[in-house]
Amino acid sequence: MDADTPTDEVLDELFATIESRKADLPEDSYTTTLFTHEKGENYVLEKLGEETTETILAAKDDDGEELLYESADLVYHLLVLLSMKDASLDDLRDELKARF
């Protein structure tokens, strides 16, 4: 993936990787840890809350670089949660489109 890859493609590739990790559960994958943690879904929800807080604090502190970094973490953990709940990226797109 290069800098010219459209955002939509980046999200599609990321979500496909998340879905692949969910199916294959490779041992050396952080994503696998999210799907198999002993706390179950609560672990992902805690991570999502943590990333949300860190994103808010970066915005409050006007730290643009940190805001982007934490936002990427937030989106990643949100996509993991959607996958965990058997929702697709297309489901999310449809919901967003419906709001226009």
With tokens 């496909």, the residue in question is 16
- pTM here is 0.91
Q: What is the pLDDT of residues 70-87, one digit of tens each?
A: 999 999 999 999 999 999
Range 7-98: architecture per CATH: Orthogonal Bundle (1.10)
Q: What is the pLDDT of residues 37-70, one digit of tens each?
A: 999 999 999 999 999 999 999 999 999 999 999 9
75/10 Cα distance (integer angstroms): 12
Domain ranges in the chain? 7-98
Burial 19-31 (b: 16+ CB within 10 A, else e): bebbeeeeeebeb
